[in-house]
Structure 1
Amino acid sequence: MQALLAPLLPVMLPVLLCAMLGALWARFRQPFDQEFVRRIVTWVSAPALIVGTFSDMTMPATEMRSALVASVVLLLFGGSFAALFCLLTRQSLQSFLVPLTFGNFGNMGLPLCLFAFGEAGLALGLAVFLVTTLCHFSLGVAILNGRAAGRALLQSPILYSGVVAASMLMLDWSLPPFLQNTADILGSMCIPLMLLTLGISLSSLRVSSAGLSLLYAVARLGLGLLAGLTTVWVLELEGVLRQVVLLQSAMPAAVFNYLLAVQYRREADTVAGIVVMSTLLSFITIPALLLYLGVE
């Protein structure tokens, strides 16, 4: 058993320890301005990580385009399965479709892709993060709000960093060394800040409607992985891209789902429970998935 679990420790423990550090920081009531950190991540470090990683990567552009296509297909299957589940359980599509569809592809997904599959995994994981984030804050907000959210999308720095990164990818451009080093420095803040924020956010959430929250937490993990398996089967994905799509698909519900539920008054207490319970369960399900993927 020890030999079986040993390869997982370098992958899972950094994520768990950083999140625990965030939780302890909140437990001892140390100051942490989440809005400031959110803005730093959204406006500075995440765009720098996207542009810097895409500029410095050595994988073929065709593989990155395949990752972007796979990300869209993953969302389509995930959203379809989530909508069907909501209809079968007779729960509100407007309240629960978004938290069932959008996993924690950033705070948890990116570190796990990096630790499990290296820089190539991070680059492909960023493709999933880019597509899902743009859809989360456009289509997802439109579902919760009941009307279009184009303005919010156009105000997202991640959109423009994605456009820059895609342009560099298609034209085979790279940043000059001084800009590449700057992007690397600023982008290196992203993953630690995401993990600390994850721990702090989870420690502040309170679980309500425990039965429904647990049901939907299990559904988020199960339906997400089902969407991933369907995506890799339909697109016949192989290699690191297959592993990254499966790993990202199995992420728990994103913390941002709770913040959006509060903002638009969509069963926020239950959504908080989905986020907390799916995250706790994921520390069992993700190691099992990593073993299945043969992480070494």
Structure 2
Amino acid sequence: MSLISPLIPIILPVILCAAIGVVWVRCRQPFDHEFVRRIVLWVGVPALIVGTLGSTVISVELFKQVLLATTCMLVFTSIFAIIACWVLRIEPRNFVMPLVFGNFGNMGLPLCVFAFGQEGLAIGLAVFLTTTIAHFSFGVAVLSGKAVFKSVFGSPIIYAGIIACLLIFNHWDLPLSLQNTLGLLGGLSIPLMLITLGVSLNSLKLHQVGKSAGLGVLRLLVGLAGGFASVYFLDIDGLERKVILLQSATPVAVFNYLLAIQYRRAPDVVAGMVVSSTLLSFFSIPVLLYFLGV
């Protein structure tokens, strides 16, 4: 019990907030997915990115290193995922993206906050920013079979990232009143993302259970392998190493399911991957946190 108790304050808030979403739906309360998605992606997360990265002391060198490490993580994970698809003889275009893109936002950011505080959140946001750009460009291109730039530059998260970069690279400080405003708006993001995660998990159903569960486990394995390969290749240690590894071990992002529906890429199996990998992560992530010495 002494090994588990330090991890409870990190994992339990994530579980409880997601459980609120499950209970909310089970009680037949209305939940406007589109409104919540827009308020989070257009207001909450951009405010969180600018407010946190603009006020947290993060050096230009560290910020660049996180962006590079995240890019390497995605490259290594993509290589492992493609190899796995080839070995298992499954369609790469259907399953590489769910295997590569974990839940860096809804689950990753809350874990970074609870495990590593504001500095960990700043690094986690840099990871989230990089993966979001990759997901909406390279990821959508793989699924659709063509380059898609509108979805990238139509996202407020990208412009929030540009503003955050300007603040970091120029060592600018935001006025206190603006910092407080962004803090209030950004504060709604993490609980809303977790509640939405719970609502989404409750609505998803397992299809082809064996295949979905197997691919869900594979996501956790190739993601963590990509994270380890990245930090080893770049010789990264300290807090940055812990955040990269934690983010790399997150389950399949719910957004992969929405894209699978849009582009007709085995959505039923991808839904099962989301559910199975998320449930498994409630056991695997505490083990990883213990390994990281949290």
CA distance in 2, matches of 1:91, 1:28: 39
Provide the residue aligned with 2:214 in structure 1. Answer: 215
CA distance in 2, matches of 1:60, 1:98: 31
SS where residue 24 of structure 1 aligns? helix
SS where residue 181 of structure 1 aligns? helix
CA distance in 2, matches of 1:152, 1:4: 44
Is residue 212–residue 276 contact of structure 2 (8 Å, CA) maintained in 1? Answer: yes
Provide the residue aligned with 1:90 in structure 2. Answer: 89
Provide the residue aligned with 1:187 in structure 2. Answer: 186
Q: How big is the shift at 1:167?
A: 1.0
Q: How big is the shift at 1:105?
A: 0.3
* Structure 2: stretches of 5+ with no match in the other structure: none
Q: Percent of aligned positions with the same letter in both sequences?
A: 54
SS where residue 3 of structure 2 aligns? helix
Please tell me the residue identity of whatever aligns with 1:283. F
Please tell me the residue identity of whatever aligns with 2:184. I
Provide the residue aligned with 1:148 in structure 2. Answer: 147
Provide the residue aligned with 1:240 in structure 2. Answer: 239
1:123 has 2:122 as partner = yes
Provide the residue aligned with 2:77 in structure 1. Answer: 78
Please tell me the residue identity of whatever aligns with 2:25. A
SS where residue 4 of structure 1 aligns? coil
TM-score when scaled to structure 1?
Answer: 0.98
Please tell me the residue identity of whatever aligns with 1:250. A
Q: What is the count of residue pairs matched by the alignment? A: 294
Is residue 58–residue 168 contact of structure 2 (8 Å, CA) maintained in 1? Answer: no
Provide the residue aligned with 1:28 in structure 2. Answer: 27
- 1:60-111, CA deviations, whole angstroms, 9 ceiling, x for partnerless residues? 2211211111111111111111111111111111110100000000000000
SS where residue 25 of structure 2 aligns? helix
Provide the residue aligned with 1:113 in structure 2. Answer: 112
CA distance in 2, matches of 1:26, 1:121: 32
Provide the residue aligned with 1:60 in structure 2. Answer: 59
TM-score when scaled to structure 2?
Answer: 0.99
CA distance in 1, matches of 2:163, 2:194: 26
Provide the residue aligned with 1:45 in structure 2. Answer: 44
CA distance in 2, matches of 1:147, 1:211: 32
SS where residue 103 of structure 2 aligns? coil
CA distance in 2, matches of 1:112, 1:152: 27
CA distance in 1, matches of 2:222, 2:232: 15
Is residue 67–residue 126 contact of structure 2 (8 Å, CA) maintained in 1? Answer: yes
SS where residue 3 of structure 1 aligns? coil
CA distance in 2, matches of 1:106, 1:152: 18
Q: Structure 1 stretches (4+) deviating beyond 4 angstroms?
A: none
- 1:167-209, CA deviations, whole angstroms, 9 ceiling, x for partnerless residues? 1110011211111111101000000000000000000001101
Please tell me the residue identity of whatever aligns with 1:51. V
Provide the residue aligned with 1:161 in structure 2. Answer: 160
Q: How big is the shift at 1:59?
A: 2.7
CA distance in 1, matches of 2:135, 2:59: 27
Q: How big is the shift at 1:58?
A: 1.3
Provide the residue aligned with 1:288 in structure 2. Answer: 287
SS where residue 14 of structure 2 aligns? helix
- 1:211-241, CA deviations, whole angstroms, 9 ceiling, x for partnerless residues? 1111110100001001111111011111100
CA distance in 1, matches of 2:3, 2:210: 33
Q: How big is the shift at 1:134?
A: 1.1
Please tell me the residue identity of whatever aligns with 2:108. G
